[in-house]
A and B are shown apart, each in its own frame.
Chain A
Amino acid sequence: MSPETERADQAPRSLFDKVWEAHQVRAETDETPGLLYIDLHLVHEVTSPQAFSVLDERGLAVRRPDRTLATIDHSTPTLDFAPGDTPPYATAAAQSQVERLQDNTKKHGITLHGWGSGHRGVVHVIGPELGATQPGMTIVCGDSHTATHGAFGALAFGIGTTEVGHVLASQCLLQRKPKSMRVTVDGEVAKGISAKDIILAVIAEIGVDGGTGCVIEYAGSAIEALDMEGRMTVCNMSIEAGARAGMIAPDATTFDWLEGREHCPSGADWDQAVARWSALRSDPGARFDHEVMIDAANIRPMVTWGTAPDTGIAVNTPIPQPRSASHRKALSYMGLEAGMPVAGAKVDQVFIGSCTNSRITDLREAATIMSGRRVAEGVRALIVPGSVAVRAQAEAEGLDRIFLEAGAEWRQPGCSMCIAMNGDRGEPGQLVVSTSNRNFEGRQGPGVRTVLASPATAAAAAIAGHVIDPAELMEPAHA
């Protein structure tokens, strides 16, 4: 019996309800939260050392090393280095942090995709790439962008370091069930509009805290039309609207993308898995605490003008008059003026990468714009693939040549300038057009001004030397 027929006599359930209920080890009570079982725990070097220390202090083992997967991404340099050499870490602390994870994973028998692994990369890129991320799973990581994995119909969310310790020791989390929100994006997007434009438009609509306390399900024809990379971009930024998780019901696009990946079942097991996963969608009539509708046809290439991710507007639209002291402060920090569009703002650096936009389709999107063109004088463009595998595929397709011939830097994988922990950063006062997820003050280095955008818009800014509608560069350049 499928989960749907089993429950035919009961109230309609959402995708989130189904995954949540399937993972309850113990239901919540008035006095205590429930125990939620975690299928996959992703670990990286920044938010795990203090958690392993707690285990060591108490003499606790990692309960399920086989459900734990580690990589190094935040503190790691993206510069080339010769095999056998010490990686060119920005600081001794960064090196020590990476070595701590190497020691901790070895001690506890956890697989680490570290230096030398063909699957090292940004944690939210490699989970799906390996097929470790699967529909219906619960997935956590000490990283707020864990929602990325919800693109596959998983319930995936970020946790603090204390909770990292809880999952290492017990494979469970103490949780109360969050509220739910459905964001329906219906209609067809205009040519050249990408998933990043969609999610920036969604966040602008619901606000930086509009999803607080909620798990979002993204639905509608414009979401269904996205490829998996696009769906990951959408779910990735759920936290930028305050939501801990974002989910999309798995479908043929999902299954086709996953089939044959290393951690996925094969043969008859695969067929059974697909049958089971196919029931993972919200029942007709499922109830959500909040509903938001967005018309895809109205979405234009989006850029942010402020220092919070909900300040996205169409690139050629005038910046709105400030509604609060925070807005005035943000405009002043950004050096932008209300009444003027962001288009035209002079650009110092462009960053194409991050767990939001560093996958192969993102790099293709950027390469289409950069092909046969040159990065404007005085602009530094950094292209940072999300994983060793993405980098290899891009090189097999010749994308690296396009970037290098345009005068951009082609880097090794990592989080890089999204979080600016590894030495990749902007200088005070510089304007950076970035495909990452956060434009907070100082996020890309003290005093750096960040404009969030899609890979196409970022690539166009690199070529033009100022923020520009990428449609102006969509036609191929003449060689």
Chain B
Amino acid sequence: MPDQIDDIRQIDSRTFVIDQEDIDTDQIIPARFLTTTSRDGLGKLAFHDWRYDGEGKPLDTVSLNSLDTAECRVLVAGRNFGCGSSREHAPWALHDFGFRAVISSEFADIFRSNSARNGLLPIVAPEAAHNWLLANPGVSIKVDLASQHVDLGNGPSFDFAIEPFAKHCLMEGTDPLGFLMSHADAIDAYEADHA
């Protein structure tokens, strides 16, 4: 169960912008760190190869290294964010880093479903709003999950879509595995029919 699930129902935050398309999961967390058997503490590895030099020293020139994640919890990125592998380590790392939502014009399928299960809200913005967000890094925005609305202040505010059950789980803290297990009778019946 993700911690602090409450804090993604309403997010008041500045944005952090990475104006790049097709950011793949190998950028979000490089594969060589996937030998972990835990899901915790991966924030220090988020965007690792952008943030550290060959010796593992943080690069002063990279703004992600000096970001105040207490006030900057929304990542804005270019189209097709999270493409590549199915690694759930990607949303684990972004969540642990401090992000609670990612806004893009399109997400890769597996990243999108992994994120919603881990307290990281994937928000698809219409093109005009997306372009405005990319062009105005650091603006303060308000995300409201219940009304599925992002208030951009002076910018083109917008409504976003979210799969209803994912929303329900995020709003109520419902556990999808519990929901699945509540259908044990139907699964038994299916298996009996297909034995």
Flag if B187 contacts A441 (CB, 8 Å): no
Given the interface pairs A47-B87, A326-B78, the reply to whether A441 lies near B49 with Cβ below 8 Å is: yes
Flag if B49 contacts A442 (CB, 8 Å): yes
**A163 to B116 Cα, complex, angstroms:** 12
Flag if A440 contacts B84 (CB, 8 Å): yes
**A208 to B85 Cα, complex, angstroms:** 13
Q: Which residues of chain B from 168 to 191 have a CB within 8 Å of any chain A CB?
A: 168, 176-177, 179-181, 183-184, 186-187, 190-191
**A275 to B64 Cα, complex, angstroms:** 58
**CB-CB contacts of B17-50 with A at 8 A, as 1s and 0s?**
0011110101100111011111100000000010
**A174 to B176 Cα, complex, angstroms:** 8
Flag if A169 contacts B177 (CB, 8 Å): yes
Closest-CB distance, A163 to chain B (whole angstroms)? 8
**Contact size class for A?**
35 or more
Secondary structure class of chain A's binding surface, majority of residues: loop
Flag if A244 contacts B22 (CB, 8 Å): no
A166 at the interface (CB under 8 A from B): yes
Flag if A442 contacts B27 (CB, 8 Å): yes
**CB-CB contacts of B152-179 with A at 8 A, as 1s and 0s?**
0000000000011100100000001101
Flag if A326 contacts B26 (CB, 8 Å): no
B110 at the interface (CB under 8 A from A): yes
Q: Which residue of A lies closest to B37 (CB)?
A: A49
Q: Which residue of A lies closest to B22 (CB)?
A: A308
In the bound complex, residues from chain A placing their C-beta under 8 Å from that of B108 are 209, 212, 242
**A33 to B113 Cα, complex, angstroms:** 12
Q: Which residues of chain A from 58 to 87 have a CB within 8 Å of any chain B CB?
A: 58, 60, 63, 74-75
Flag if A440 contacts B177 (CB, 8 Å): no
Return the contact of A46 from the options B20, B34, B49, B177 (Cβ within 8 A).
B34
Flag if A25 contacts B165 (CB, 8 Å): no
**A178 to B109 Cα, complex, angstroms:** 10
In the bound complex, residues from chain A placing their C-beta under 8 Å from that of B117 are 160, 162
Q: Chain B: how many interface residues by the 8 Å CB criterion?
A: 51
The stretch of A91-99, A184-192, A223-231 in contact with B is: A91-99
In the bound complex, residues from chain A placing their C-beta under 8 Å from that of B87 are 46-47, 160
**A171 to B190 Cα, complex, angstroms:** 11
B114 at the interface (CB under 8 A from A): yes
A362 at the interface (CB under 8 A from B): no
Flag if B22 contacts A329 (CB, 8 Å): no
In the bound complex, residues from chain B placing their C-beta under 8 Å from that of A160 are 86-88, 110, 113-114, 117
**CB-CB contacts of B81-103 with A at 8 A, as 1s and 0s?**
00111111000000000000000
**A165 to B164 Cα, complex, angstroms:** 22
Flag if A46 contacts B26 (CB, 8 Å): no
In the bound complex, residues from chain B placing their C-beta under 8 Å from that of A171 are 187, 191
In the bound complex, residues from chain A placing their C-beta under 8 Å from that of B163 are 33, 176
Flag if A446 contacts B54 (CB, 8 Å): yes
**CB-CB contacts of A41-57 with B at 8 A, as 1s and 0s?**
00000110110011000
Closest-CB distance, B124 to chain A (whole angstroms)? 11
B10 at the interface (CB under 8 A from A): no
**A384 to B183 Cα, complex, angstroms:** 44
A217 at the interface (CB under 8 A from B): no
**A262 to B79 Cα, complex, angstroms:** 44
Flag if B180 contacts A169 (CB, 8 Å): yes
**CB-CB contacts of B66-83 with A at 8 A, as 1s and 0s?**
000000000000111001
Closest-CB distance, A25 to chain B (whole angstroms)? 4
Flag if A31 contacts B35 (CB, 8 Å): no
Given the interface pairs A26-B183, A158-B110, A159-B86, the reply to whether A32 lies near B26 with Cβ below 8 Å is: no
Return the contact of A33 from the options B38, B54, B165 (Cβ within 8 A).
B165
In the bound complex, residues from chain B placing their C-beta under 8 Å from that of A31 are 164-165, 168
Flag if B54 contacts A428 (CB, 8 Å): yes
Return the contact of A441 from the options B26, B39, B181, B184 (Cβ within 8 A).
B26
Q: Which residue of B lies closest to A50 (CB)?
A: B39
A419 at the interface (CB under 8 A from B): yes
In the bound complex, residues from chain B placing their C-beta under 8 Å from that of A165 are 177
**A420 to B177 Cα, complex, angstroms:** 33
Q: Which residue of A lies closest to B113 (CB)?
A: A160
In the bound complex, residues from chain B placing their C-beta under 8 Å from that of A37 are 187, 190-191, 194
Flag if A329 contacts B20 (CB, 8 Å): yes
Return the contact of A208 from the options B30, B31, B80, B179 (Cβ within 8 A).
B80
A35 at the interface (CB under 8 A from B): yes
Return the contact of A212 from the options B34, B80, B179 (Cβ within 8 A).
B80
Query: 4 tightest A-B contacts by CB?
Result: A49-B37, A93-B35, A160-B114, A158-B86
12 more A-B residue pairs beyond the given contacts A37-B194, A170-B180, with a C-beta to C-beta distance below 8 A: A26-B183, A32-B165, A53-B37, A93-B36, A97-B36, A144-B86, A162-B117, A165-B177, A209-B106, A421-B32, A440-B24, A442-B49
List 28 A-B residue pairs with CB atoms under 8 Å apart, sorted by A's residue number: A25-B183, A32-B165, A35-B180, A47-B87, A60-B181, A74-B34, A75-B35, A97-B35, A144-B110, A160-B110, A160-B117, A162-B114, A162-B177, A170-B177, A172-B183, A174-B176, A208-B83, A209-B22, A213-B109, A242-B80, A242-B83, A244-B109, A326-B21, A421-B32, A441-B49, A442-B30, A442-B49, A446-B49
Binding site for A on B (CB under 8 A): 19-22, 24, 26-27, 30-32, 34-39, 49, 54, 78-80, 83-88, 106, 108-110, 113-114, 117-118, 163-165, 168, 176-177, 179-181, 183-184, 186-187, 190-191, 194
